[in-house]
Structure 1
């Protein structure tokens, strides 16, 4: 489990959720963009609620280890969405398997 420290408050969530939130926040910062995201967090009474975060270039997020209190928060759909949003901020260039692929210099190879 991880504790997210954000805007003077602490939020307990799962390891994968916290890592995905940090990755997405970093990618938004690099793109000079901001976005609102929702993640599951555990309340002191043990219930799980949704917390809403504004993340982007000005976000000051700290994640620290927390003692495991109850079951790990698992939110594969939230993690998948955050990873998808992160990939959108970090486009990947495909390398051609044939170095001549895509080149059009007016010559025949």
Structure 2
């Protein structure tokens, strides 16, 4: 398990989830963008919970390993999502501008 420290708080989550979150945050920072993510966490009483993070270029997180008597939290779908988003951020696709239909002129604003 790993404890993520963020904004004077900390949460305990699975090691792979913590590492995935850090890698995704780094990818967002490299592109100068942000996202909100929701991850599973272990509450102090051992029950499962959720935590939301706002990740952006100024995010500062630290993750440290921690022994825990509780079962490791795993979420393969979340890890896939992190990897997919990292790939998308590393290889952005160009989006074609909307083309006017045949016989139509594009909207143009002219200041007089």
Both proteins in one fold, TM over 0.5 = yes
Identify the residue that residue 88 of structure 1 maps to in structure 2. Answer: 88
Q: CA RMSD in A?
A: 1.1
Identify the residue that residue 50 of structure 2 maps to in structure 1. Answer: 50
C-alpha deviation, 1:82, in angstroms: 1.1
- TM-score normalised over the length of structure 1: 0.81
- TM-score normalised over the length of structure 2: 0.79
C-alpha deviation, 1:30, in angstroms: 0.4
> Aligned partners of 2:84 and 2:14: how far apart in 1?
18
Identify the residue that residue 19 of structure 2 maps to in structure 1. Answer: 19
SS in 2 for 1:77: helix
Identify the residue that residue 32 of structure 1 maps to in structure 2. Answer: 32
Which residues of structure 2 form unaligned runs of 5+?
93-112
Answering whether residue 10 of structure 2 is matched by residue 10 of structure 1, we say: yes
SS in 2 for 1:19: helix
Which residues of structure 1 form unaligned runs of 5+?
93-109
- Aligned pairs, number: 92
> Aligned partners of 2:51 and 2:45: how far apart in 1?
15
C-alpha deviation, 1:2, in angstroms: 0.3
- Stretches of 4+ aligned residues off by more than 2 angstroms: none
TM-superposition CA deviations, 1:82-106 (whole Å, max 9, x none):
11111111119xxxxxxxxxxxxxx
TM-superposition CA deviations, 1:11-53 (whole Å, max 9, x none):
0000110111000000000000000000000000111111100
